[in-house]
Amino acid sequence: MKTLTIGWLYPELMNIYGDRGNIIALTKRAKWREIKSEVVELNPGFSDKDLSRCNFLMMGGAQDQQQSIVNKDLRKHHKTLSEMIGNGGAGLYVCGGFQFLGNYYREADESIIDGLGIFDLFTVNPGPDKPRLIGNIAIETNIKEITRPIVGFENHGGRTILGENVEPFGKVLKGHGNNDDGLEGARFKNSFGTYLHGPILPKNPEFADHLLKLALGVGELKPLDDKLENEANEAIGKLLRIQQESPNS
């Protein structure tokens, strides 16, 4: 089986709300299956050559100042990133990373920050008089091997609206999602955008394994004992009063 090569986009700038845990979860779950993994840290000034050798990409969120630096640097790699995602490259993009892939972000003063236009969506900041969308969240997805609600924590001011050429990551069971329209995140081919922090992958092992299979190009993975991971998932479900099956508890 080939090596899992994770391209971690801007780890020094885009890493709030514990999103580093997504990298840890993927590499640990690979190691427990005796799959070699490598993490390539892609900080400002990285080359397209380094980007192209990755079979999984991850980008987290950040504050406004850091996101401005990243937005400028990321544009240098638009063509390569667009080709990788368009050709089915696997990836997870959280919060600010998710917004960057859209068409644009309209700030509270109505100024426009152009996105990469890879995901057909846009995001609007409604202004300081509107509340941030904060709290625990649970969603359901139509990915067949995911049997449990996907849970996490959201904290975002922007409201994201999906276009016709992208599907949501899931439907909101409890929480806000993209803009209180009942949808959360986005899915385009094998890449996922989401507002779920926490981080998302340690307490959603089925989704973590789905991403591993997409990255490695395999249909099955060696089963793991996910008792602790599922208990973490269920703990959030109980807080939100979400009923769910517990096959591995």
Q: What is the pLDDT of residues 94-151, one digit of tens each?
A: 999 999 999 999 998 898 989 999 999 999 999 999 999 999 999 999 999 999 999 9
Mean pLDDT in residue range 23-37: 98
Backbone angles phi, psi at 154, to 5 degrees: -110, 145
pTM (two decimals): 0.94
The 10s digit of each residue's pLDDT in 173-202 is 999 999 999 999 999 999 999 999 989 999
The H or E element that residue 66 is part of is helix 64-74
> How many folded domains does the chain comprise?
1
Looking at residue 68, its pLDDT comes to 77
248 is a domain residue: no
Tell me the C-alpha distance between 66 and 174, whole Å: 30
> Is 95 assigned a catalytic role?
yes
209 is a domain residue: yes
109 is a domain residue: yes
200 is a domain residue: yes
pLDDT at 65 over 80: no
249 is a domain residue: no
Query: Of all residues in the chain, what percent carry a pLDDT higher than 90?
Result: 84
53 is a domain residue: yes
Tell me the C-alpha distance between 156 and 238, whole Å: 23
Q: Which of 54, 95, 176, 210 is catalytic?
A: 95
191 is a domain residue: yes
> For residue 79, which amino acid is it?
K
pLDDT at 247 over 50: no
The H or E element that residue 99 is part of is helix 96-100
List residues bridging with 113 in a β-sheet: 105
The 10s digit of each residue's pLDDT in 145-172 is 999 999 999 999 999 999 999 999 999 9
CB 15 within 8 A of CB 226: no
Where does residue 185 fall: left (phi above 0), alpha (psi -120 to 50 degrees), or beta otherwise?
Answer: left
Looking at residue 248, its pLDDT comes to 43
Q: Which domain holds residue 210?
A: 4-239
Residue 120 burial (C-beta neighbours within 10 Å; 0-12, 13-18, 19+): middle
Q: Which of 77, 156, 197, 210 is catalytic?
A: 197
Looking at residue 16, its pLDDT comes to 77
CB 171 within 8 A of CB 142: no
185 is a domain residue: yes
The 10s digit of each residue's pLDDT in 66-100 is 777 888 899 999 999 999 999 999 999 999 999 99
Residue 59 burial (C-beta neighbours within 10 Å; 0-12, 13-18, 19+): buried
Looking at residue 244, its pLDDT comes to 61
CATH number at residue 180: 3.40.50.880
Which residues, 6+ apart, have CB-to-CB distance to 189 below 8 Å?
A: 85, 86, 88, 89
Looking at residue 64, its pLDDT comes to 66
Looking at residue 243, its pLDDT comes to 67
Looking at residue 62, its pLDDT comes to 74
The 10s digit of each residue's pLDDT in 217-237 is 999 999 999 999 999 999 999
Question: Rounded mean pLDDT of the chain?
Answer: 93
